[in-house]
Amino acid sequence: MAHGLDLVGERWALLIVRELLLGPKRFTHLRTGLPGASPDMLSQRLRQLQESGVVRHRQLPPPAGVPVYELTEWGMGLEPVVTGLGRWAGGSSSLPLDAPIGVDSLILSLKALFDPGQSGDVEIRAAVRLGGDEFRVMVTGGEIAIARGTLEHPDVTLDTDTATLASLLRGVRSPEEAVVGGDLRVDGGMDTAGRFLALFRRAVPPTSPEATRAE
């Protein structure tokens, strides 16, 4: 455990891993997902992650031909660590619900929020569009798979923005309210959209000891 923290315990390290779980990214795209990290800090952490074998730097083949960072096969093994930490932190009574959230972070939170025990025999293939980003979310057999890219013939398509999707996941707004407000477009039926979103309903954070005493 101590050695693991030596490898990825520095500030921003696991957040870089999170940003790369859905595929390679250029340095500029990493900065977009981690606006609080300075360029120097991000470069330093990337070097450390490369030295430890978690991340590698390579050139994409033509026609792209651009340098990107990506997780190694060993680095991809951190996915359950990132997901588990997110799931655990989601139960915090001090969770800052008004904090900004990036596209990849929000999509990956679906894995942290997903409860296999509550999914039953639900099978849904959903396309989620957030601005210029599109993701495939497949739920089947009590398991969830998420990937970047277009999904052909989805059961439901949600076209929205990060703030609206976050409010839907937290139950602050209903899909119907978001559609009426013009913040959500649904293709495939509202019932299917509702069943899909219900798979990720966030649990109510525990009451803090201070609040309990106050009561």
pLDDT in tens, 120-176: 888 999 999 998 899 999 999 899 999 999 999 999 999 999 999 999 998 889 999
Which range, of 87-96, 162-171, 187-196, averages the lowest pLDDT?
A: 87-96
Q: Band of the pLDDT at 202, cuts 50, 70, 90?
A: low
Q: Whose structure tokens read 């890219």? A: 149
Q: How far apart are CA 58 and CA 125, in angstroms?
A: 32
**pTM for this one?**
0.83
Give the separation between CA 188 and CA 178, rounded to whole angstroms: 16
Q: Are 197 and 175 in contact (CB under 8 A)?
A: yes
Determine the pLDDT at residue 204.
43
Q: How far does CA 84 lie from the centroid of its chain?
A: 12
Specify the pLDDT at position 121: 86
Q: Are 21 and 69 in contact (CB under 8 A)?
A: no
Q: What is the mean pLDDT of residues 89-102?
A: 82
> Does residue 215 surpass a pLDDT of 60?
no
pLDDT digits (tens, 9 = 90+) for 2-59: 999 999 999 899 999 999 999 999 999 999 989 889 999 999 999 999 999 999 999 9
Q: Which residue has the tokens 């959500």?
A: 184
Do strands 156-160 and 55-59 pair parallel, antiparallel, or not at all (unpaired)? unpaired
